[in-house]
Amino acid sequence: MSMQEPKILKILEESGELSDELDYMVNNHLMAERGMGYTACSPSLVEIEYTGNPKQVIKMGIDHTFVDVDSGQVMGYGIVGYLFFQAEPFEVLYITPTEDLESKVTYILESGMEASERPKGKY
């Protein structure tokens, strides 16, 4: 896995939807690698520069999320990082480092930004 965010050469599909199985694998990987409080969202198909060659992968935003204890509603503060992966076979090529995610979360929380509702299911 690369330590540097890949360079996007082309956006092939600006938005899309993942299968339930792939969505589960991505969010399971995100939770295992970065902990709770993050949800992968907004998939797009992009072409990146990978080991000197173009490669088609899926790019997803990483939203800082939580469940409101009173309403049970999933809430989010916005994109704090990115995840790039290939679907077949499933392989994560890049995920924003934990320190960068935590730094962006701290900035958002200290800025006084309000969380907003997130849709149920995949987004």
Nearest CA among 51, 80, 79, 62 for reference residue 26: 62
Cα–Cα dist 31/12, whole Å: 27
Summarised one tens digit per residue, pLDDT across range 22-80 is 999 999 999 999 999 999 999 999 999 988 889 999 999 999 999 989 888 899 999 99
**Identity (one letter) of the amino acid at 18?**
L
Summarised one tens digit per residue, pLDDT across range 90-99 is 999 999 999 9
Q: Are 96 and 81 in contact (CB under 8 A)?
A: yes
pLDDT at 106 over 60: yes
Model pTM score: 0.88
